[in-house]
Amino acid sequence: MSEIESALAETFSLTQGGPFYRLQLRLGHAHEERARVLHRALLAIVIAWLPLLVLSIIQGSAYGKQLQIPFLHDFAVNVRFLVALPILILAESKIDSHWRLLVLHFLKSGLVKEPELPSFEAAIQRVTRLRDSLLPEAIIAAVAYSSFLVGSHTELLMGNASNWHTLGLSSSQGLSPAGWWFNIVSTPLFRFLGLRWIWRMVLWALFLWRVSRINLRLVATHTDLAAGLGFLSAGQKRFGAIVFAGGAVVAGQVGNAIAYEGATLAGMKFVLVGYGVVAILLLVAPLLVTTPTLVKTKAQALLSYGALVTSHNQSFAAKWVDGHAPNGDEILGNPDPSSLIDLGSSFQVVRQMKPVPINKSTLITLAAAAALPMVPLVVLVTPADQLLRAVLKMLV
């Protein structure tokens, strides 16, 4: 079988497009070389975090005991802009290149037949046009600035604790210069990058939905238990970095609540667990668009293979059980029992087909990525003797 080629598939990208990307391109920051990606991540830190530090130092709220939450002691803001923000940028090239490999695999694996190539390329073109459209990113930018525009300044959820975000020692006073920068620049930038990842996930889901509607060469007996679409699960695994970034933000917020607001780890466990569940569900959701196709493929295969198994088993029984085997034929060494077992195994594979092309390895990876940022939090707030006893209990 000759491999189908497509220039559109070779250049597929969900990150290299859109107004913000074109702006970066003009400024010389949009190239995917490792050095340029690192430069973009550092630039984001310089824009979002460094001014907060400088302004906090100038106003005397970066450190010291005059405030309950000085800037350098604020877990939430420092984790958000020193850890999560650069991850959102650094993950772009890795995830995008893997998306391209998945798109190419539709062709290399023979899932897309030659007559369906125009429909496949039309799906790529549709997603590309949406990626480059001005309206989606304009909406994302508007949402990113929404809390500031409507006058909400509760992004860090600091309660009544005196902090660097406000003037003086009272949290009820107006915003400090650092607080204004946080609301006007830092937070909208972080939100914009986070919401843009959600938009890219929507684009990926749209692409998969359109591709699943063309006449793919799906094989119900494929050992990935997804008729040949199991490779899509690996694409979601790459989002572990984004899940980790979100988990870091949640862990920072919970750390603030425990350190400065009297919350307990036990009281916040539902927040931590809830984030992991929601993150996994959001990343599995794009693959749900293939479910109708997989369900239909399984139903048809159960009927087809069921009829084939019935016919084969009836012939086997007539020959070897009912005594209609030709004279001289011996069942020992005959290929008939082997074919009976092979066909039965194929039917069992069809019966075990999953409605969603996701595997346990991907779910474990995403769950680990969500839980990993919580580990330092657990270690910091758990007394050493309790932590030691818990570790020894697991080992013994």
pLDDT above 90 (res 319) = no
On whether both 341 and 275 belong to a single domain, the answer is no
193 and 109 share one domain? yes
Give the mean pLDDT of 107-128: 94
| Structure tokens, 63 | 């450190």
Quick one: pLDDT at residue 31? 66
The predicted structure's pLDDT at residue 151? 46
What is the pLDDT at residue 392?
Answer: 59
Residue 1 lies in a domain: no
- Both 251 and 333 in one domain: the answer is no
Neighbours of 123 (CB within 10 A): 22
Of 91-100, 263-272, 341-350, the range with the lowest mean pLDDT is 341-350
Average confidence (pLDDT) over 318-339: 63
- Tell me if 384 is assigned to some domain: yes
> Do residue 302 and residue 193 come from a single domain?
no
> What are the pLDDT digits (tens) for 154-181?
455 555 678 898 876 555 567 889 999 9
Are 188 and 328 found together in one domain?
Answer: no
Angstrom distance (rounded) from CA 208 to CA 88: 23
195 and 170 both lie in a single domain: yes
Answer yes or no: is 24 within a domain. yes
Same domain, 217 and 344: no
Least confident piece of the model among 34-38, 171-175, 235-239, 288-292 = 171-175
- Do residues 131 and 17 lie in contact, with contact meaning Cβ atoms separated by under 8 Å? yes
What is the pLDDT, as a whole number, of residue 384?
Answer: 58
The answer on pLDDT for 348 being more than 80 is yes
Alpha carbons 153 and 156: distance in angstroms, whole number: 8
- φ/ψ region of 157 (left if φ > 0, alpha if ψ in -120 to 50, else beta) reads left
Please report the DSSP string for 300-362 in residue order: HHHHHHHHHHHHHHHHHIIIIISS-SPTT--STT-SHHHHHHHHHHHHHHHHT--SS---HHH
Q: Is residue 119 assigned to a domain? A: yes
In a domain, residue 136? The reply is yes
Is 2 domain-assigned?
no
Say if residues 143 and 149 touch (Cβ distance below 8 Å).
no
In a domain, 182, yes or no: yes
Looking at the structure, do residues 277 and 310 belong to the same domain, yes or no? no
Identify the pLDDT of residue 23: 86
What domain count does the chain have?
2
pLDDT band at 75 (very low <50, low <70, confident <90, very high): very high
> Do residues 374 and 335 both lie within one domain?
no
Q: Residues with Cβ < 8 Å from 373, sequence gap 6 or more? A: 244, 247, 248, 250, 251
Q: Are 80 and 190 in contact (CB under 8 A)?
A: yes
Residues 360 and 347 in one domain: no
**Do residues 164 and 53 share a domain?**
yes
Same domain? 168 vs 264:
yes
Can you give the residue range of the structural domain that contains 220?
7-288+356-395
